[in-house]
């Protein structure tokens, strides 16, 4: 069994930059966002169910999911968000498990924004949280995505509070500083994880 580190953090925290640092060290990274896209590709049962539930207007002209429209609906209505999560999480979990099982690196990273909010945390041996200040989160997410400050704040509100996320972490990357600081932290963690993976029975 591969040693698995769960990598998480709020929107705009820099999870992808941290994941890329592990990939540069030849560590397999399995991305839950990719899984979430794979399970709703045209022709999948999940996409058919979503179109039945929300109506055909949730599909774009090429029959792919209109993610922006879906995001607007589910972040405004907790009931709809729960319905969507109950539909998608089992399929996402299976895809992730299959990908992690194929890892040949000393350990693998499961990168997921909802690692702690879902049962995905049960798939990992250790939890790594990327942490930034709320203002940094908002600034980075607004710069990266075409979302408004209000939309970003709604996403932050729907995610686990920062303090609670930190309380569940085995390790924390502080991503408030320059990229050099980030690289040094990743190198230290990489050394630790290789050691821990070597001890796993």
| Nearest-angstrom CA–CA distance, 36 and 10 | 17
Q: Are residues 65 and 7 in the same domain?
A: no
> Are 118 and 88 part of one and the same domain?
no
Q: How far apart are CA 75 and CA 73, in angstroms?
A: 6
In a domain, 150, yes or no: yes
87 and 153 both lie in a single domain:
no
- Whether 144 and 127 share a structural domain: yes
- Convert the pLDDT of each residue in 89-129 to its tens digit: 899 999 999 999 999 999 999 999 889 988 899 999 999 99
Q: Mark which of 95, 130, 146 sits at the end of a domain.
A: 95
Please tell me the total number of residues recorded for the chain in this structure. 201
Residue 59 is given by DSSP the state B
Q: Which two tokens stand for residue 68?
A: 């922006």
Per-residue pLDDT for the chain (201 aa), expressed as one digit of tens each? 899 999 999 999 999 999 999 999 999 999 999 999 999 999 999 999 999 999 999 999 999 999 999 989 998 999 999 999 899 989 999 999 999 999 999 999 999 988 998 889 999 999 999 999 999 999 888 888 777 888 888 888 888 999 999 999 999 999 998 888 999 999 999 999 999 999 988
Query: β-strand 3-8 against 107-111: which pairing, if any?
Result: parallel
Give the domain extent around 21.
Answer: 1-27+105-200
The DSSP 8-state label assigned to residue 24 in this structure reads: T
How many domains are there within the chain? 2
Q: Are residues 124 and 196 in the same domain?
A: yes
Give the domain CATH number at 6.
3.40.50.300
């Amino acid at each position: 069994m591969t040693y698995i580190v769960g990598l998480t953090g709020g929107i705009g925290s820099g999870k992808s930059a941290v994941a890329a640092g592990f990939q540069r060290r030849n560590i397999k990274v399995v991305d839950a966002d990719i899984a979430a896209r794979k399970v709703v590709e045209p022709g999948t049962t999940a996409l058919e169910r979503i179109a039945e539930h929300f109506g055909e207007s949730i599909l774009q002209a090429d029959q792919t999911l209109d993610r922006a429209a879906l995001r607007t609906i589910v972040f405004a209505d907790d009931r709809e968000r729960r319905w969507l999560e109950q539909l998608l999480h089992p399929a996402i979990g299976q895809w992730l498990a299959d990908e992690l099982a194929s890892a040949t690196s000393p350990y693998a990273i499961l990168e997921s924004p909802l690692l702690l909010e879902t049962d995905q945390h049960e798939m990992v041996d250790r939890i790594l949280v990327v942490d930034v200040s709320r203002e940094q989160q908002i600034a980075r997410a607004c710069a990266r995505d075409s979302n408004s400050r209000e939309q970003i704040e709604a996403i932050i509100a729907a995610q686990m509070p920062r303090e609670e996320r930190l309380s569940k972490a085995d390790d924390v990357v502080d991503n408030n500083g320059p990229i050099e600081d980030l690289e040094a932290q990743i190198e230290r963690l990489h050394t630790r994880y290789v050691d821990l993976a070597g001890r796993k029975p």
